Amino acid sequence: MVFFLLLIFSFSLLLLIKMLNEAKRNDVIKETIYLSDFPRGFNGTKVFFISDIHKRDIAPSIIEEVKGAVDLVIIAGDLTEKDVSIKKVERNIKKLVSIGPTYFVWGNNDYETNYRDLDVCLLNNGVKILDNTAVTFSSESGEELHLLGLDDMSRNRDNLSLAISDSGSGYKILVCHDPMIGKQIKKEHNIGLVLAGHTHGGQIRIFGYGIAPKAGMKDKGLYKEFISNGYGTSRIPLRLGAPAQTHILELQSKE
């Protein structure tokens, strides 16, 4: 009986250590995303993609690995949450801005804070906020790439039509904190890629099952979708089967 209890205790302790380690990982996952109709003038564009930072400090090792290796930075919401100081948030923002041009969309936890202070902090540090708006990039050959971003869905602040009207007829990449935005996407929107976070990849997956689908790349028919596990955690600082991650996404034309 004592041996059995010791065995359970040892297993539980090892599992807890594993879950803590997965939550504190500082991995930069490199992926190439092949996209139909992606403008050739933008082939090889590299994006540093990070979401759901929450309470974490971004590790210097991540910044060192990414700096000079990407063209832009996208923060897919939940940069912060309740009780995280604005000074801590600004430290993370400064790290990300040092990598390159930085774009941000709001997540549900960002609104738990004094979001006006966060808004000012982002703007003062040169971060472009995509709140139902778009930014357009032009290649040397005149092709256009549109980066659209939506405000928080949980507060009904998102407006996909407004973001689309702010873009043009070129290739569209949509960033939204919550991947549920997919339910609003129609063929006529001509959105080729959706980038999202929010789900933490289920955060704790038992035998492959979690409270949310596994993160990663999916072909949704009308568009491709990439969801990140995210970098931080909310409430429980543990992960299992969905380790903390950030990404370098290289975009390439499928043809």
**In order of start, what are the domains of the chain with their CATH numbers?**
2-253 (3.60.21.10)
Cβ 176 vs Cβ 152: under 8 Å: no
For residue 74, give both structure tokens.
Answer: 């996208």
pLDDT tens, per residue, the chain with 255 residues: 766 667 676 677 899 999 999 999 999 999 999 999 999 999 999 999 999 999 999 999 999 999 999 999 999 999 999 999 999 999 999 999 999 999 999 999 999 999 999 999 999 999 999 999 999 999 999 999 999 999 999 999 999 999 999 999 999 999 999 999 999 999 999 999 999 999 999 999 999 999 999 999 999 999 999 999 999 998 899 999 999 999 999 999 987
For residue 82, give both structure tokens.
Answer: 């309740």
Residue 37 CA neighbour count, 13 Å, CB half: 14
The whole-angstrom separation of Cα 255 and Cα 253 is 6
Cβ 62 vs Cβ 91: under 8 Å: no
> Residue 102, Cα to own-chain centre: how many angstroms?
12
Fill in the amino acid letter for 74. I
